[in-house]
Amino acid sequence: MKHIIPYIAMALLPLFCIALPLSAQSVSAGKEIASLDQLDLAAAELARSIRPELLKLPQNSRIRVGAFYLDDSDTTLGSYLTQQLSAFLAGAPLNIVSPDTDFRTATAYTLRGSLLETGNIIRIYARLVKTDDETLIHSWNTDLGVTDFIDTMIQISSSSNVRRDRYEPDSRENPIAVTLGGSEIARTIHDSDDNDWFSITPDRQGVLVLETTGSMDTYMYLIDGDSSSELGSNDDGGQNTNAKIEWFAEEGKTYIARVKGLDGSLGHYGFKTTLEAIPVDANEPNDTRERATLIASGSRTEAVFGTAGDIDWYKVIIDPNSLPEGGQLSVWTEGRMDTTIAIYHRNEIIAEDDDSGDNENARLNITVSQGDYYIRASEARGRQGRYTLRTALRPVPVPDAYENDNSRSTAKDITIGDPVQGRTFSDSNDIDWVRIVITGAGLYEIRTKANDSELDSFMELYNSDNDKIAEDDDSGDNYDARIRQRLEPGTYYLKISCLGDDPLEDNRYTLRVTRTGN
């Protein structure tokens, strides 16, 4: 039945609302067009087949080249045909007029058409009609194979009307087979329920890299082709809002990728895959504490979980000559793995973490003295993949004059209009609470200002019933927070926290509350 549907659709086209004359011509069949130059040649061939019939029209006839629509919508290909046919057919003795010319006389004619997508073919129908009464004079058709180039040309121009791409319908059971390292596949997310499916079977072991391209916000899942279990997912790991997943793939194993628009995003995107060689981890063998790789504080180490369940050990020596009174050691990972880290000293574990860093990365800040410290890194789900281990050693931050103010019950007062309070974040988890007593109703401004342009503060304002009434991240300068709020008399509590990277590089900021109006 599915093979009959395209022919039914063709029969119902407005093009055939009047019976075709015996002189209807088929110009060509299924050209594979992969470039604009090839499309120019195809348009020129169509124009050559049309021109003899136009020369048979009455002398002084005026001919307008109209639109070529796909599903009653304009496309790049349709606009191209209108422009190119006008150009190719222009010249004496034919009188080709502008497409927007409106005339209805006995010697006025319109050449227009339709585009019909049937499987992997785009059929171009052109028909010549009398402008005044729509009498059909002649018709032509030619076929173009739907290559990625043509697929891009037939995207509907309206941003609110995204066309189904030529790979539909696809599904988990019927995914698109992808050639590793082949050309980028042009696809669309045409409605909020659309999911695109891809099947990849590497012919060798390696790092499988899957990514989307384009301007729409995509989300991607990687699925085990045998068990259907989810192996990983990603939102913005690629360029801008594109998704990207890296996976250590097995030879001959099938993997399924599913791509959707994030939060209902619709549009056009590209999908591409590569298979890279498995990177060599220069730190191996470091699978035990005794074989720990020696790294310097302040170092950046590129590493690989090369096997399932791989564990990597590192050693940091705190030199008493550099920090006689000890310091604060920060250890964190970067990358797309779900890492866990633990720090050992004198045969005891003193700290461990899973997801305190960005995304699913681990992060720890600990106070250290002289001696040897060991770092144990692993992947929470035992997966293989690349990651970066980073360390930093700095003097122990000196608490500001308002500590301990890490809870609402220990909040410190600030006076309206007084000079700024100088404060610090002792680490990325430090929270400062401030009590604000308002005696007169009015408009108030509460703002932080970092000592540098990198410290990112976040403020939340609560009333005496502990209801949050305002919050802000970056309304001030750079990453500074600022709240402007009308407040009634009463007691309010301000919670200030640090976002982003560890603030120890410069952990200082100021706080001020002022009344700005009634």
Q: Please say whether the beta carbons of 426 and 397 come within 8 A.
A: yes
Q: Please give the single-letter amino acid code of residue 38.
A: Q
pLDDT of residue 418: 87
Same fold, 176-276 and 289-394: yes
What pLDDT, on a 0 to 100 scale, did the predictor assign at position 43? 92
**What's the one-letter identity of residue 305?**
F
Distances from the Cα of 136 to the Cαs of 24, 43, 55, 67, 327, in angstroms?
10, 22, 16, 16, 88
- Asked if 310 and 366 count as a contact pair (C-beta separation under 8 A), the reply is no
Q: What is the DSSP letter of 308?
A: T
- For strands 508-517 and 421-424, give the pairing: antiparallel
User: Which carries the bigger pLDDT value, residue 380 or residue 151?
Assistant: 380
Task: Compute how many other C-beta atoms are within 10 angstroms of the C-beta atom of residue 52.
Answer: 10
Q: Which two tokens stand for residue 384?
A: 């293989």
Task: Quote the pLDDT of residue 489.
Answer: 95
Q: Which helix (H) or strand (E) holds 49?
A: helix 36-54
Query: CA–CA separation, 217 vs 32, rounded Å?
Result: 31
408-517: what CATH class? mainly beta
Residue 202 has pLDDT above 90, yes or no: yes
Place of tokens 């993997």: 255
Helix 76-89 / helix 36-54 crossing angle, nearest 10 deg: 50
Judge contact between 366 and 374, C-beta under 8 A: no
Element housing 76 (H / E): helix 76-89
Domain ranges of the chain: 5-153, 176-276, 289-394, 408-517
Q: In the chain, pLDDT over 70 holds for what percent of residues?
A: 90
Higher per-residue confidence, 347 vs 321: 347
Give one DSSP letter per residue of 116-159, joined into a string: EEETTEEEEEEEEEETTT--EEEEEEEEEE--HHHHHHTSBS-T
pLDDT of 504: 59
Rounded mean pLDDT, 459-482:
92
| pLDDT exceeds 70 at position 292 | yes
Give pTM, 2 decimals: 0.55
Give the pLDDT of residue 362.
93
Question: Beta strands 293-294 and 311-318: pairing type?
Answer: parallel
Q: Is the Cα torsion angle 226, 229, 231, 234 positive or negative in sign?
A: positive
Q: What is the pLDDT of residues 49-67, one digit of tens each?
A: 999 999 999 988 999 998 8
Domain 5-153: CATH class, spelled out: alpha beta
CATH topology of domain 289-394: Jelly Rolls (2.60.120)
Nearest CA to 332 out of 377, 395, 288 is that of: 377
d(CA 415, CA 61): 87
Residue 194 in this model has a pLDDT that exceeds 50? yes
- Calpha distance 460→464 (Å, rounded): 13
Q: Given this structure, which CATH class describes domain 176-276?
A: mainly beta
